[in-house]
Amino acid sequence: MALKPKITMKRWKASNEREIIQYWSESETFKFIEDSKKPVYIIDTPPPYVSGRAHLGFAIHYAQIDMIARYYRMQGKNVIFPACADRNGLPVEVKVEQKLNKSMHEMDREEFLQICKRELDIAEENTIQVMKWMGLSCNSFYGSPEIYYQTDSPQYRLNTQRTFLRAWHTGLITHATRPNNWCIDCGTTIADAEIEYTENESFLHEIIFNVENSDETITISTTRPELIPTCELIIYHPTDSRYTDLEGKYALTPLFKKKIPIRKHREADPEFGTGIMMICAFGDKSDVKILREERITNPKTVIDADGRINEVGEKYSGMLVKEAQAAIIEDLKKNGSLIQSTKTLRRVPVCWRSKTPIEIIAMEEYYIKQLEVIPEIKKIVEKMDFFPKSNKIILDNWISTINTDWAISRRRFYGTSIPIWYCSKCQTPNVPKEEELDRYYDAWKEQSPMIKCIKCGKSLKDAQGEVRTFDTWFDSSISELAACNFGEIFFQDKEQQFFEKNFPCSVRPQGKEIVRTWLFYTILRSFHLFKKPPFRQVWISGLVRDPYGGKMSKSEGNSVDPLLFLQPQVIPKNTPKTLRPDKDSWKVIAKLESSPKFSGKQTPNLYYGADSVRLTSCLQGSHGSDIRFSLSKLDGNAKFITKLWNISRFISIFPNEDRPKKLEAVDQWLLASLDALTSRCLNGYAKLDFSVPAENLYNWVWNLFAAHYIELVKSRAYGEENMSKISIQSARYSLHTSLQAILKLLAPIVPFVTEKIFQSLYDPEISIHLENLPQPDNPSTEEQSITEDLLTLDSAIWKAKKDKALSLKEPVSLVFIPKSLENFTNDLKIMHNIVTIKMGEPDNSIEGLITKKNCSLKL
């Protein structure tokens, strides 16, 4: 009977991925089975912020999180992998303000919120579709639509409010006027964790201060002359002998003639400027710290929330900060108080979102306690496993720098309302008990669920609801509760049985750039709520960078739209804009790449598909390190997908035989090598480092299985040369056994092509992703030395023929092989067309003998 490939499709195409998505959807492959006896594994999926288009870094990050889900599913776990969307906070507000060219405070609040919601809906469509096309196996996409949440949904926001109420009634919330980080552009307080730093060119000004009641002067160096009117203290280091005679004296500020005490303090840096410093309200966090230590309370600030100088600045009142700087320097020049100004680089704190320099302004905000529980937080951290372990230091370092409580209130609109109502008579804040909040309340527009003021007893019908919202991280930091069905956010569950049984979550996957915010705040909140860690494992990934190491971002002009790789070059006309690749994104790639694909005028076809992108993400670095994404690497890895398809199609020619009573030596070696490969892959998977299985499978499949083993047994698999039935069966069994193991080991990384091959060859009714991962038997201790000897021999013969410009089919008259390959002689003779094979040391007197390590040959 003629042998024909069972896989009839000659080439794998990226478009085939859509067929697999359709199959998963129709068969509800990844549905969460509530009554399953399998152990539950819960992934605290990072809710992606959906204010704009999903970028390549997002696509890669979430694809690797999906690998966690697929790995544990194939380890026999009942996986909860929620799809979700973060829809609170600044980004969408800023986007709408820019789009309308007006501040939200100039608009009706309700109208502004509706515009924000429409923008989020549009962006969410793009984000969710990219997640699907990247192969994410979220339950909600494939049979469990209820396992999906949005952080602005009434149920999620109710959870946020209820956790706040619990914190309030246990004494964890305070309301105080304290120095806060203030973003002038965003018009709100931001947390320390949301600050980034940049190096800006500035001027270091040397300014003369007069010492009171003397002719003596001191020179102070500063980059912030506009803060002179808020100077509260002048300090020098206790060991700096230049200034010890000034202890207890007073200086007068130039222009403002304010009397300032001079004191010694360890924070003064003798090496900075003149070594004597002015402490103002507030130049930076060290000013805040020093003034607090010196018991200088309620210092007056000079910069208002709108970025203008207030009345403390006297004649400079109403000026913008930069205008005031220039005017003050000019006046200092005129009265002889300015010695010189020299250019310098200054480390400037900026808002993570707007990149606007941060000002420290005393603001009235709500705070949740964190400083006093840091020792307990450190203990909680030690109870969690970090992947990789080295990235735990990011969290440890951040915790060691915390010196204040977390300001959780924000002066913005699109966020969860703070559920507080102020009595119209006594102004007492009235905060409901948890059980009194039966639904989500917008306090700024809705009447309190409480009836009377807790202090004076007045009706709360006309109470003023709090207009502020929570910091968006206050919402995001309870995502693990949502993943565990806290508040019945997914499905009805009497008395929270599911939550109580399954909390903490199994794993928190996230990027290292939000360790200071999302990870720390989640741990803090879980401690406050339950005195437990929020999850057992923490998986921290690196950043996706361009080929030159630059962080991908739109502002840098190097951000790539993943739809370039997930959509065909010719897209149907009715495709919405949100699902079309960004029109300029291919130009970004052209700028970053030197690929010949971009040498012509036509837009190149970059439809590689999700499998190629996913594989590339794993092969570009070990877990935790940054990934440098390049088109050349993507192109090369797409060839591996093609290679896998071709290998599978070749093997599909032969029937899937049962294991024979006796395996040929070559097949025994191959299966021992497969066992060793399986062990390496499973070790990598157990550490959630997908680079390990990806690299090992790539090299083994391409460089050993295809290049050497298949060539060795090809003739035997076909049944040529009058081979015995058991020998043929041995080859076919080993080919199929190896392929099935390869497919299963690759499945979490490249889910589409492995699904198609598995169903085409082995079981059309079952998804490979519901199979168990293969387990190694007893790997041979001799396998590695045999492999090295075989690869050396094959390479030596191929090179010798190539050097002589001979066909690979040309005969080899004589080969000396090592004893390790003694039982391979029949297959080697057929593979290389060898006339004579001898064992042992070669006879060096033979003319034309080519000698290599462990083998010799004569053509």
Quick one: pLDDT at residue 600?
58
> Count of residues for the chain?
859
Instruction: Output the CA–CA distances (angstroms, integers) from residue 205 to 66, 158, 220, 222, in the order listed.
Output: 54, 52, 8, 5
pLDDT, tens digit (0-9, with 9 covering 90-100), for 41-99: 999 999 999 988 999 999 999 999 999 999 999 999 999 999 999 999 888 998 999 99
| Average pLDDT of span 485-512 | 87
Residue 18 in tokens:
């859509």
pLDDT, tens digit (0-9, with 9 covering 90-100), for 645-699: 999 999 999 999 999 999 999 999 999 999 999 999 999 999 999 999 999 999 9
CB atoms within 10 A of CB 591: 11
CA–chain centroid gap for 567, Å, is 24
The reported pTM is: 0.91
| Average pLDDT of span 18-29 | 98
The DSSP 8-state label assigned to residue 136 in this structure reads -
E-assigned strands of 667-710?
none
CB atoms within 10 A of CB 795: 14
pLDDT, tens digit (0-9, with 9 covering 90-100), for 557-613: 788 999 999 999 888 889 999 999 987 887 788 777 766 666 656 677 899 999 999
pLDDT more than 70, % of the chain: 98
Quick one: pLDDT at residue 280?
96
Nearest to 358 by CA among 585, 553, 191: 191
Inter-residue long-range contacts of 486-491, CB under 8 Å, 24+ positions, other chains counted: 486/159, 487/155, 487/158, 487/159, 487/162, 488/155, 489/149, 489/155, 489/156, 489/159, 490/82, 490/146, 490/147, 490/148, 490/149, 491/34, 491/146, 491/147
Residue 347 in tokens:
């480390």
pLDDT, tens digit (0-9, with 9 covering 90-100), for 90-125: 889 989 999 999 999 999 999 999 999 999 999 999
pLDDT, tens digit (0-9, with 9 covering 90-100), for 428-461: 999 999 999 999 999 999 999 999 999 999 999 9
Is 237:271 a contact under the CB 8 Å cutoff? no
pLDDT, tens digit (0-9, with 9 covering 90-100), for 771-811: 999 999 876 667 888 888 888 888 888 888 888 888 888 88
Residue 609 in tokens:
């598909």
pLDDT, tens digit (0-9, with 9 covering 90-100), for 395-429: 999 999 998 999 999 999 999 999 999 999 999 99
Residue written as tokens 């589409």? 752
Strands 544-545 and 627-628: parallel
CB atoms within 10 A of CB 856: 21
| Average pLDDT of span 294-308 | 91
C-alpha 666/C-alpha 550 separation (Å) is 48
Give the strand order in the sheet containing 429-430.
Answer: 429-430, 421-422, 464-465
